[in-house]
Structure 1
Amino acid sequence: MSLPIALIRAHLVIDHDADDQLLTHYAAVSALWVAAYVGAPFDANNALMVQAALLLVATQYESREAVTFSNAYQLPFGVHDLLSPLKDRVTGHVAEVAA
C-alpha cells in the first residue's frame, strides 16, 4: 500500500475502520496521480509526496459526489506547491556539451 491506513485515518480524524476499503482505494489513486504529476514513482518516504497524497485522499473522501459547485479541475490547496520541487521539468532546452 502506498500510504498507511493509520496515517490516512489520523489525517482525516476518523476513529473507525468502516471506510478502510474506500480510503485504501483513494490512497492508491492519489499515489498514482502524484507519480504521474512529478514524473517519478511514488515514494512513501518522501514527505512532500505523502502530504500531497493525503490532501488528495481527503478531497476525494469529503467530495464523493460527481456534481459540485466548485471547479471540478481544481486541486486541493497546496498540492502543486508541495510537488513543484519534485516535478521533472521539460523545457526543450538541450545544454551544449563543451568540447
Structure 2
Amino acid sequence: MEEQQINQSSTLDDAYFDRNQAVQALAKLARQRGMKVGLHRDPDAPGWPVLMIDLPTGQVGYHLPEKEVVGEWPEYEKGWDGHSLAEKRERVARFLAGEE
C-alpha cells in the first residue's frame, strides 16, 4: 500500500511538472507573437510566482513553484485583473477556438 501511495504522489508531481513546462512553453510562444508575458510576484505567496499571459481573449495567470521557473521572464507590470478560475478557462477556450 505504501508503494502505491508513493507512485501516486510521483505521478501527481510528474503531472504538475509537465503542466508547468507546458504553461511556460505557451508563454514563450505568446511572447514571440507579441503578447505581453511576465512574472508577477505576490509578496503574500513567496516562492510561487504567477506567470501572466495577456491572450487576445484576456489575461490568464498560472502559479508556478519558483524552482520550476525556466529561464528569465520579464516582470509583469500590470496587476491581476481579478479573473476567476472559470474566467481563465473560458478565456483559454476562446483563444483555442480561434477568437482573437
Q: Normalising to structure 2: TM-score of the pair?
A: 0.27
Whose Rg is larger?
1
Query: Which of 1 and 2 has higher RCO (CA within 8 Å, sep 6+)?
Result: 1
With structure 1 as the length reference, what TM-score do the two structures score? 0.27
